[in-house]
Amino acid sequence: MSKDITELFHDNALCKGLLQEIVKTVGDSPFRFMELCGTHTVAIFQSGISSILPKTIKHITGPGCPVCVTHEEEIESLLMLSENKDVIITTFGDVMRVPNGNGRSLKHAQADGADIRIVYSALDAVEIAKNNPQKKIVFVGIGFETTAPTIAAAILFAKSTGVKNFSVLSFHKTVPAVLKVLLKDEDFSVDAFMLPGHVALVTGIAPFQFVAEKYKIPCTITGFEPADILQSILDLVKQSKNKQAEVHNLYTRAVRDAGSKKAMEILYSVFEDGRGFWRGMGEIADSGLNIQEKYADYDAKKIFSIVIEDKKIKTACACGDVLKGKIIPSECALFAKVCTPANPKGPCMVSTEGSCAAYFKYKIK
């Protein structure tokens, strides 16, 4: 019986050979790479790769978890909206436990009587709107370019089917924009990037070319199986050793260099680039996906006069520094002491794709 393709990427001999080649190639030179995808974060720890890499290679988690980068004030706006008895808030499950600056979350609001429902897609929220015509249904739009086209499609569907009590509170963000901010930080230092495969599936590789061309930093786009990740690390080490800086697509079984033209068309038929707010990084120009004026009737920010501002909040939670790669989760004073998955003090411990949650689950020190 032939092996499933995913099994091939778990082959022990293949992975061992790739690891040996990595060790041989990197030598004694220190090498730091950052991944920018929550799924990569989990895959690297779950597969044990982080524990078997040579000590000269340091893996850093970046701002690749959409829940983790959700700003405190975005959560605060949801909490205020939840007090409106005419509103039903619909959201993905992870968002429920993300705290605002004072540690309060949608879970607390739900316990206090707010009508907040977990859905699996924005279309589920449209269906709730159809079944509750007397209520205003708000879907919490959180995610990167990966999920934004599906949210745009839900708005288009709601409009085409005459559903007028459905709207989206868009907190979507774009990955290339935050990369530009990281790279301008004088204290930021990495030797290579493992780029997000899911995002590239939609955008293609063009939006990431500036990293290699302007900053001379090697990049790879890769999948999520052990051999994918090891192959990616090997490619990054080789590029670095050879003084190369290119964006290599190693995930060709899923990602086309040009991305998905249709998905991008749908995304930008509804959204436009605008202000975005990131946990620990504040406001970043043109890093948010805001709903265009022609779909204002489906824009919860306009309907409910919601304005997000980057308020400076004092907190002992170091999620911001973790997301910027300045510290690892275990270096946060709260980690595994007062901050645990059962009692998260920051979003990086909430999401299953969060770096703090991964460090805690896999006991990484």
Q: CATH number of the domain at 56, please.
A: 3.40.50.11750
| Mean predicted lDDT score pLDDT of the chain | 93
Q: Which domain holds residue 334?
A: 319-361
164 plus 263 within the same structural domain? yes
What's the CATH code of the domain at 93?
3.40.50.11740
User: What percent of the chain clears pLDDT 90, i.e. is strictly above it?
Assistant: 84
- What pTM did the predictor assign? 0.92
Interatomic CA distance for residues 115 and 125, integer angstroms? 13
Q: 220 forms bridges with which residues in the sheet?
A: 194, 248
* pLDDT value for 1: 39
Nearest of 46, 47, 44 to residue 64 by alpha carbon: 44
Residue 2 has pLDDT above 70, yes or no: no
What are 157-179's pLDDT values in tens digits? 999 999 999 999 999 999 999 99
- Amino acid present at 345: K
Is 249 a member of any domain? no
Residue 180, domain member (yes or no):
no
The Cα 249–Cα 167 span in angstroms is 36
Do 166 and 123 fall within a single domain?
Answer: yes
What does the pLDDT look like over 14-28, one tens digit per residue? Answer: 999 999 999 999 989
pLDDT tens-digit profile of 263-279?
999 999 999 999 999 98
Rg (the chain; Cα; Å): 21
Q: What digits encode the pLDDT tens for the residues 47-94?
A: 999 889 999 999 999 999 999 999 999 999 999 999 999 999 999 998
Q: Can you tell me the mean pLDDT for 31-50? A: 92
Determine the Cα–Cα distance for residues 251 and 242; give it in Å rounded to an integer. Answer: 22
168 Cβ neighbours under 8 A, 6+ residues apart: 122, 138, 139, 141, 151, 154, 155, 291, 298, 299, 300
Quick check: 356 pLDDT over 70?
yes
Two structure tokens written together for 361: 């689950």
- Taking the C-alpha atoms of residue 350 and residue 95, their distance in angstroms, rounded to an integer, is 8
- The answer to whether residue 228 scores a pLDDT higher than 50 is yes
More confident: 236 or 38: 236
**Could you tell me if 78 and 113 lie in one domain?**
yes
Which pairs count as long-range contacts for 128-131, CB under 8 Å and 24+ apart, including other chains? 128/88, 128/90, 129/158, 129/163, 129/165, 129/166, 130/163
Q: Which two tokens stand for residue 109?
A: 């609001």
Residue 146 C-alpha from the chain's centroid: 9
Asked if residue 160 belongs to a domain, the reply is: yes
